[in-house]
Amino acid sequence: MRLWLLPLLLVLAGCQTAPSALPMAEPRPAAECRWPAGGDSPESLLRRAVSVLEAEGFLVRHTDMSLGLVSAERSRILPGYGDFDDPWERSGFFGHYGLGGRRGGGFSSGVGIMVGFGGASSLTRDATELERVSLVAGPEEVRVSRDIQVFDWRGERRQSRSASATDFCSRLRSAIEAMPAGEAP
């Protein structure tokens, strides 16, 4: 083995170290996303949580009573979100407008207005927001996590963020606690 390869290998091996900190949810989940179970059984809490989430428009994707877990999601179209990097993307509902002229020694000038509704492609190029909620009910406490992702019309993820906010978790907790235990299916 050549000796000049040894320092090169040591430098490259240093690039393969672990990160100094593991990724964490940003922003951190609100304190209101954890609350005491209040003497209710995890099964009762899960049944009421499923009813509340379905009433809010969520589609329940997975439940596991042994783990005390409910996972749900809902999606909605974001009209006009578009692709910000595409120079030919529509600029508004009524198309483009502008003034034209010619640089140099010519006498050309003009005013143009184009009115239109963007064609059929404008109906299919809207982004989709996907909101996911997971609720874990244990014997002592209930925890909720929520994240929101935005996908463009090509299916590429444009945004991803933790959305375990105070207002959402407070509303969810109030709705779960307001529902009588016998009313949930």
pLDDT tens digits, residue range 53-80?
999 999 999 999 999 999 999 999 988 7
In order, the DSSP letters of 35-104 are EE-TT--HHHHHHHHHHHHHHTT-EEEEEETTTTEEEEEEEEEETT---TT-TTS--STT--EEEEE--S
Whether residue 126 has pLDDT greater than 60: yes
- Between β-strands 34-36 and 141-151, what pairing exists: parallel, antiparallel or unpaired? antiparallel
What is the average pLDDT score of the chain?
79
Cα–Cα distance, 110 to 168 (Å, whole number): 53
Bridge pairing between strands 109-113 and 34-36:
unpaired
Query: Would 18 be classed as within a structural domain?
Result: no
23 belongs to a structural domain:
no
35 occurs within a structural domain: yes
Question: What's the pLDDT at 185?
Answer: 66
* 96 has a pLDDT exceeding 90: no
Give the separation between CA 6 and CA 98, rounded to whole angstroms.
63
What is the predicted pLDDT for the residue at 14?
Answer: 64
Q: Is residue 88 part of a domain?
A: no
Scanning the structure block, which residue is given the tokens 């809010």? 56
Is the pLDDT at 122 greater than 60, yes or no?
Answer: no
Whether 39 maps to a domain, the answer reads: yes
> Is residue 141, in this structure, part of any structural domain at all?
yes
How many domains would you assign to the chain? Answer: 1
pTM for this entry: 0.66
Structure-token pair, residue 152: 């463009």
For residues 82 and 155, give the distance between their C-alpha atoms in angstroms, rounded to a whole number: 12
CATH code for the domain of 150:
3.30.310
Q: What is the pLDDT of residue 180?
A: 82
Q: Tens digits of per-residue pLDDT, 127-180? A: 899 999 999 999 999 999 999 999 988 888 988 888 999 999 999 999 999 988
Mean pLDDT value across residues 116-128: 62
Domain containing 59: what range?
28-81+126-178
Q: What percent of the chain has pLDDT over 70?
A: 68
Residue 101 resides in a domain: no
In a domain, 5, yes or no: no
